Amino acid sequence: MGQQVFAYIIHKDGVADDTALELIAAAGKLDTDASVTAVIAGAGSELDSVCNEVASFFDEVWKIDNPALAYVTAEVLRPLLVRILPKHGIVLVPHDHFGMDLAPGLSIKINAAYLPDVVDFEGIDNGKLKAVREEYTGQVSTHVLSDISQGAVITVRPGSFKADERKSGDGLVIDKTAQAIESGLLVGAHRFLEIIEAQVGEVDITKSDILVSVGRGIEDQDNMEMIFELAEAMAGDVSCSRPIVDAKWLEKSRQVGTSGQTVKPKVYMALGISGAFQHVGGLKGSPFVIAINKNPRAPIFQVADVGIVGDILDFIPELTERINELKSA
Partner 1 sequence: MEILVCVKRVPDPSENEIEVNKDGTDIEGDDLVYSVNEWDNYAVEEAIRIRDKVGGSVTVVSVGDEEAEEVVRREMAMGADKGILLSDDAFEGSDGKGIASILTAQVKKENYDLILTGALADDGAAQVGGMLAAMLDWPFASLVNFIEILDDKKIKVGREIAGGNQEMYEMDLPCVLSIQTGINEPRYVSIRGIRKVASLEIPVHTAGDLGISPESVGEAGANTKCLDYFVPELGDGARILEGSTDEIIDNLIELLKAKGGIK
The yes or no reply on residue 329 touching partner 1 (CB under 8 A) is no
The yes or no reply on residue 182 touching partner 1 (CB under 8 A) is no
Among 189, 202, 220, 329, binds partner 1 (CB under 8 A): 189
Taking residues 98 to 127 in sequence order and writing x for each that binds partner 1 by CB under 8 A, - otherwise, the string is x-xx-xxxxxxx---xxxxx----------
Among 269, 273, 280, 312, binds partner 1 (CB under 8 A): 269
Nearer to partner 1, 32 or 199 (CB): 199
Number of Cβ atoms within 10 Å of the Cβ of 28: 18
Q: What is the dihedral of CA 236, 241, 242, 247, to 10 degrees?
A: -70
Nearer to partner 1, 61 or 72 (CB): 72
For residue 112, the minimal CB distance to partner 1 (Å) is 9
Residues in region 142-171 near partner 1 by CB under 8 A:
142-147
The yes or no reply on residue 261 touching partner 1 (CB under 8 A) is yes
The yes or no reply on residue 172 touching partner 1 (CB under 8 A) is no
Burial annotation 214-241 (CB, 10 A radius, 16+ → b, else e): bbbbbeeeebbebbebbbebbebbbbbb
Candidate ranges 31-39, 43-51, 165-173, 232-240; the one touching partner 1 (CB under 8 A): 232-240
For residue 171, the minimal CB distance to partner 1 (Å) is 29
For residue 54, the minimal CB distance to partner 1 (Å) is 20
Say if CB 91 and CB 152 are below 8 A apart: yes
Candidate ranges 54-62, 83-91, 159-167, 301-309; the one touching partner 1 (CB under 8 A): 301-309
Q: What is the dihedral of CA 279, 103, 196, 43, to 10 degrees?
A: 130
Candidate ranges 19-27, 28-36, 48-56, 191-199; the one touching partner 1 (CB under 8 A): 191-199
Sign (positive or negative) of CA dihedral 144, 150, 151, 152: negative
Say if CB 37 and CB 84 are below 8 A apart: no
CA-CA distance, 130 to 144, in Å (whole number)?
6
CA dist list (Å): 56 to 32, 36, 53: 18, 12, 7
The yes or no reply on residue 253 touching partner 1 (CB under 8 A) is yes
Nearer to partner 1, 64 or 304 (CB): 304
The yes or no reply on residue 315 touching partner 1 (CB under 8 A) is yes
The span from the first CA to the last CA of the chain, in angstroms, equals 70
Say if CB 23 and CB 156 are below 8 A apart: yes
Taking residues 32 to 71 in sequence order and writing x for each that binds partner 1 by CB under 8 A, - otherwise, the string is ----------------------------------------
